[in-house]
Amino acid sequence: MKYRQLGRSALKVSELCLGTMNFGSRTSEKESFEILNAATSAGINLIDTANQYGGDSGVGTTETILGKWLAEDRSRRDKIILATKVHEPMSDDINDRGLSARHIQMACDASLRRLGVEHIDLYQMHHIDRLAPIEEIWQAMDQLISQGKITYVGSSNYPGWAIARANEKAIAKQRLGLITEQSLYNLIERRAELEVIPACREYGLGLIPWSPLAGGLLAGVRKANSGDVPGRRQSEGMQKVMKQRAAQLDSFDQLCSALGETPSVIALAWLLHQPVISATIIGPGNVEQLSSVLHVPDIRLDSEALAQIDEIFPPCGQAPEAYAW
């Protein structure tokens, strides 16, 4: 496993981040434990979750599973960088959501209880809350930091202007501010290149892409069309998108074959070649899926391969040059 700095912080994280959204919804507790054991054995030290994850099992289920795994061996906690999120609705209560100072504080305490830990390494705002003044948010985050409940603060699904606003407010108070942004970014969805990535570069945030395989579209169109692959790729909506992008996905499949790797591996490796990336999330549903991508950090794409990928999936450029002049 290879490691990078988490944004401009001095903290080192594995280039692959274990995403846990499947835990408790699509993946059983037993298999979740197996994935966690295999991932940490392979050197993955960044584990990402969210307080809302759990699917039909209920919000908080994923954090609870992680807490049970950590409780099996208390030494595990000090070896991992634990990241979770706050913002999404946790109940029908009108205030049990968003980024009010009250909810941030209560949600953090609830996450700590479910995880069975004393502190969270990276506490991320899951979405922007346009009703919450940034001063209120920093007040709550600063209090959690002073209490030793969280160490670093990150954003998720933030536009470039919100990253700039949040960090300018933090700079004015001589605070560290945001160190990461977790954003939708993959070969098919490259709009983060317009303003999010430039903002991350300017303010020293590490980007952690989510949905790196575009919901399975980049996992291999031939395999996905075989009819024996369960999950999202067999949904009506996904099949429609696959037909619309058939030529593009087939070209990518052919390139990956020429490179001697699967589309999943190349799509993940491509992200690690992009600027400001601290780690890319992988969300394996089983140990086999995890094992198939553990060598991604070892993949080196030369300039010719990167140019071919850009030809198949054109870049967006940067704002405002991409659309103003």
Q: What is the pLDDT of residue 224?
A: 46
Q: What is the pLDDT of residue 226?
A: 43
The pTM score is 0.94
Length reported for the chain: 325
The residues carrying an active-site annotation are: 53
Q: What sections of the chain are H helices per DSSP?
A: 29-41, 61-72, 101-115, 134-146, 160-172, 196-203, 221-224, 236-244, 246-259, 263-272, 287-291, 303-312
User: What digits encode the pLDDT tens for the residues 87-132?
Assistant: 999 999 999 999 999 999 999 999 999 999 999 999 999 999 999 9
Longest dimension (CA), the chain: 57
Predicted confidence band of residue 320 (pLDDT cuts 50, 70, 90): confident
Question: What is the per-residue DSSP string for 107-138?
Answer: HHHHHHHHHT-S-EEEEEESS--TTS-HHHHH
User: What digits encode the pLDDT tens for the residues 181-207?
Assistant: 999 999 999 999 999 999 999 999 999
Closest alpha carbon to 273 in 284, 282, 285, 265: 265
CA distances from 269 to 145, 223, 275 (A): 34, 20, 13
User: What digits encode the pLDDT tens for the residues 3-48?
Assistant: 999 999 999 999 999 999 999 999 999 999 999 999 999 999 999 9
> Could you give the CA distance from residue 69 to residue 86 in angstroms, rounded to a whole number?
21
Q: What is the dihedral of CA 248, 296, 42, 2, to 10 degrees?
A: -140
The pLDDT of residue 242 is above 50:
yes
Q: What share of the chain is helix, strand, coil (3-state, %, to 5)?
A: 45, 15, 40
Q: What is the pLDDT of residue 325?
A: 67
- As to burial, measured by CB atoms within 10 angstroms (0-12 exposed, 13-18 middle, 19+ buried), residue 223 is middle
Q: At what angle do helices 101-115 and 134-146 cross, to 10 degrees?
A: 40
Question: What is the per-residue DSSP string for 236-249?
Answer: HHHHHHHHHTHHHH
- Residue 122's region, left for phi above 0, alpha for psi from -120 to 50, else beta, is beta
Predicted confidence band of residue 322 (pLDDT cuts 50, 70, 90): confident
Contact 92, 123 (CB under 8 A): no
Apex CA 63: angle with CA 61 and CA 66, to 5°?
110
> SS3 of 19, please?
strand
- The residue ranges of every structural domain in the chain are 3-216+265-300
Predicted confidence band of residue 220 (pLDDT cuts 50, 70, 90): confident
CATH topology (fold) of 3-216+265-300: TIM Barrel (3.20.20)
Contact 134, 163 (CB under 8 A): no
CA distances from 82 to 107, 120, 266 (A): 16, 6, 27
Closest alpha carbon to 280 in 291, 292, 293: 293
Contact 169, 176 (CB under 8 A): no
